[in-house]
């Protein structure tokens, strides 16, 4: 797994903490792990798909995915 994707796990968990604080909720550790697993699995699957399709390293595929998403956001 590329480092930039792995590091995103910490950012996602920080986001989960923010959501919980905003909603006055508290998730169990198992709930956090389950939610994180879903986010990370989807992200890895997409990065893997790009890596295989374009025959590029996973790290480059992660950057390619980010650039595509930024482009889509700008267009929207």
pLDDT at residue number 37: 96
Write down the domain spans for the chain.
Answer: 3-75
Reported as a single tens digit per residue, the pLDDT across 9-49 is 999 999 999 999 999 999 999 999 999 999 999 999 999 99
Q: What is the pTM of this model?
A: 0.81
65 vs 12: CA distance, rounded Å: 17
**pLDDT of the residue at 2:** 84
Q: Is 38 exposed, middle or buried, given 0-12, 13-18 or 19+ CB atoms closer than 10 A?
A: exposed
Which pLDDT value is given to residue 49?
Answer: 97
């Amino acid at each position: 797994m590329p480092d930039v994707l792995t590091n995103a796990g910490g950012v996602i968990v920080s986001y989960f903490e923010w959501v919980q604080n905003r909603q006055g909720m508290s998730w169990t550790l198992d709930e956090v792990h389950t939610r994180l697993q879903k986010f990370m699995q989807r992200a890895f699957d997409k990065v893997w798909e790009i890596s295989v399709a374009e025959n590029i390293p996973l790290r480059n595929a992660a950057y390619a995915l980010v650039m595509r998403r930024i482009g889509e956001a700008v267009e929207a």
